[in-house]
A and B are shown apart, each in its own frame.
Chain A
Amino acid sequence: MAYVIVPRHERTQPLRIVPGYPQTPWRNPKQPLIRRPPTLSELTGPSEVAKRVKLLGGDIAGHGEAQAIGQLMHLKLRVVDEDGTPVGGTVVEIWQANGAGRYIHPNDDEHAPVDRNFYGAARLLTDERGLLELRTVKPGAYPVPTKDGWWRPPHIHFSIFGKVWLSRLVTQMYFPGEPLNGQDRILNAVPDTAARARLVARLVPPTGDPANALVFEHQIVLRGRKATPSQP
């Protein structure tokens, strides 16, 4: 099955150099990026990545004495391509701050406490419906060390492989109704309003499974669609 990848609408993707994000002007190319004809190299890609990386469970909130501090939440994530076809069997890497807004990472500073019951990372496979579920705590907001005191709203990071090299995606998911969303320099680097709205998860009625958790649904669309057979 041939897969086609076409250029994206620029406004649906973030600016590369972001006002108020001081690292971006040093790291993003000055020269124009080069359009190239897609070849087999770009339209193939690693499949069965789980053979090369270790999966980490989808319940990262902990239980009982070892339960993480924060608002328990359950995320139902759906991964599809541009046809809306579920992307099953793909590796999704997930990471987030703890309930206080601190990452378990040597580069994070001591602005907020570490929760020793929370590492904040999962690596999962989507099922054949493109779904995966994550039981976690809602991440806290945190300050970005810039002079003018910018705060990141609660968000969860995703890295998704997809079917081919060009469908690889690194993105972030936001929460509905957060006052910090409107000021976040990373979310608002995407010029198109509707494209930004699609990065925000949906709060849905609790299902009772798992118990006592807020339930959020989110859809991620990877690049690529099936080639249309050429018309005679």
Chain B
Amino acid sequence: MKKRKAVRRRLIPSGEATIGPFFPPRYVDAGANDLSQLEDRKADGEVIEIAGTVRQEDGTPLDNLVVEIWQADANGIYRHVADPRHREADTKFFGWGRAATDKEGRYAFRTIRPGAPEGRARHVNVMLMFSGLMRILKTTMFFPGEQANEADPVYRAVPKARRKLLVAREEALGRYRFDLKLRGAHETPFFDD
């Protein structure tokens, strides 16, 4: 009997568009930038702060830009079925957060220091949405002083001279600064997935 190969018709992903200037302020829920607790229960691990300023080419800070992050828990586990270890994920840690920049272009998150996921250095996945960004910009924040960075496949995908732009600065114990420049001098490396 002849076996017929199932033809899977593939749909084409919808076109992206800018979030525009009018993303409702109420979509940045109070507390959405605090990943250190879930339903009033403290996540495992060391609480850290990640903050920075987002600027455009001429250095103007960008107001009302939406920043979202996604990260593993303190043991490097993602709260998602595709992570083989997800059953062991910290039930007190959600892993996702959202913030919007203020008039000075500043955003801030309170979270926990992520563990290193399998085959990766510890890192935080970052997404930017803004008026005039026709597509979401995606980047990855790495931690300073981590030997594992040099072996990380995403870090290594970035040309050597630009890698340091993906490494946050530790301003004080547990306080990280990760500035983002969308274009021009010191432009943050962004990924094309």
Contacts and interface: CB of A to CB of B under 8 A. Distances in A.
A, B bound? yes
Contacts of B14: 169, 171, 198-199, 220-222
- For chain A, give the interface size range: 35 or more
Given A5-B193, A52-B32, A52-B94, A40 B120 contact: yes
Interface of A: 1-3, 5, 7-9, 12-16, 18, 21, 23-47, 49, 51-54, 56, 80-84, 93, 95, 97, 103-108, 119-121, 123, 157, 159, 164-166, 168-172, 186-187, 189-190, 195-196, 198-199, 220-223, 225, 228
Contacts of A164: 80, 82
Given A107-B21, A171-B16, 18 more contacts: A7-B192, A15-B134, A26-B182, A30-B183, A34-B157, A36-B154, A38-B193, A44-B82, A52-B32, A84-B11, A105-B23, A159-B19, A159-B23, A198-B12, A198-B14, A198-B15, A222-B14, A223-B13
Highest count of chain B CB atoms <10 Å: which of A33, A36, A45, A104: A36
B10 A33 contact: no
Given A18-B134, A170-B136, A198-B14, A34 B22 contact: no
A90 B78 CA distance: 18
Question: What are the 10 closest A-B residue pairs judged by CB atoms, nearest first?
Answer: A23-B132, A33-B192, A46-B96, A44-B80, A103-B22, A44-B78, A14-B134, A36-B157, A172-B17, A105-B22
Contact of A26 (B82, B120, B183, B192): B183
Nearest to B9: A84
Interface in B175-190: 182-184, 187-190
A40 B10 contact: no
Interface residues of B, number: 77
Contact of A41 (B39, B125, B129): B125
B174 interface: no
A168 B127 contact: yes
Interface in B6-48: 8-27, 29, 32, 38-39
Contacts of B125: 41-42, 165
Contact of B23 (A30, A95, A168): A95
A229 to B, nearest CB: 12
B187 A27 contact: no
Interface of B: 8-27, 29, 32, 38-39, 56-58, 60, 62, 64, 68, 70, 72, 78-83, 94-98, 117-120, 123, 125, 127, 129-137, 140, 153-154, 157-159, 162, 182-184, 187-193
Contacts of B68: 168
Contact of A36 (B94, B129, B153): B153
B153 A29 contact: no
Nearest to B11: A221
A105 B25 contact: yes
Contacts of A93: 27
Nearest to B184: A30
A189 B134 contact: yes
A27 to B, nearest CB: 5
Nearest to B84: A40
Contacts of A44: 70, 78-80, 82-83
B135 A14 contact: yes
B83 A40 contact: yes
B17 A14 contact: yes
A41 B78 contact: yes
